[in-house]
Homo-oligomer: A and B are copies of this chain.
């Protein structure tokens, strides 16, 4: 099962983290940009191509150390269709390199529309008699505000093609409490109600590792809520943003894990992909800098957990 594969990859590299690929053109080292812009100009096409070269270099540097990557759709949509083409290529390249790919899209819509998204991101799209995989990630992030019929079409494709998803429960951003922490239901909160819904939606899809195909997003920036959610959702794999720049520490994220460092994966984006900006080498060392940052994060988190 999809999360079994993720758990195996985590075990293999002894690292429960995922590198976010959230690139802006200005995050791409000068030597890559200069070469690409010489060919395509300082255009959307040039920016997209520069980002692809950067992503490819990052994936080469990180595979074998980090089990998964998480491209964030916003940074590709920002460049229009050329960015989306690079998102497709990036997902394909990372999977070829053996990495598990979480497309961070946070989609959510009514049933027929959710089915269209599921075709594009996890499944296949029919054109006449033929079917084509499109973005073909291993996993997507979703927003469950609209209810089960906005998630079920994804779950159907997850079952058919052995994929999985993470649905937002308690997010890492400062404003997350405005809705999510409001008291709701019987002695719970909005995020608590969402957590219970997710356990229901996923029920019956457990893999060998014991987790359902419906994971949950829970921010490292709210350690109390993270502990509560871990306890409420014993069958749910957790995706944990907010470590590092946003303020979450290794001590905070350890609460996301079950024994043996199982059932959770911690994300980091800019601290890894922009690590070269802090070494004073003008980006010539961006691969080494990303690798070192990923290793430092792994070692920091593994001070509190043992992966086995």
Which residues on A are within 8 Å of B, measured CB to CB? 22, 24-25, 37, 42-44, 46-47, 72, 74-75, 77-85, 87-88, 106-111, 113-114, 116-117, 119-121, 125-130, 132, 134-135, 143-150, 168, 171-180, 182-185, 190, 193-194, 197, 241
Contact = CB atoms under 8 A, between A and B. Distances in A.
Contacts of A22: 113, 116
Contact of A106 (B78, B88, B107, B119): B107
Contact of A147 (B46, B72, B175, B193): B175
Number of copies: 2
B147 A145 contact: no
B134 A146 contact: no
Contacts of A87: 81
Residue of A75, A175, A176 most packed against chain B (CB within 10 A): A175
Nearest to A186: B183
Contact of A116 (B75, B125, B171, B183): B75
Nearest to A146: B171
Given A74-B116, A145-B171, A190-B190, 15 more contacts: A22-B116, A25-B126, A42-B128, A43-B132, A46-B127, A74-B120, A77-B121, A77-B134, A78-B117, A78-B119, A80-B84, A147-B179, A148-B175, A182-B185, A184-B185
Contacts of A108: 106, 143
B74 A109 contact: yes
16 contacts: A42-B127, A42-B130, A43-B132, A44-B127, A46-B127, A72-B116, A74-B116, A77-B117, A78-B119, A80-B88, A80-B134, A81-B85, A145-B179, A146-B180, A178-B197, A182-B184
B149 A174 contact: yes
Contacts of A128: 25, 37, 42
Nearest to A115: B74
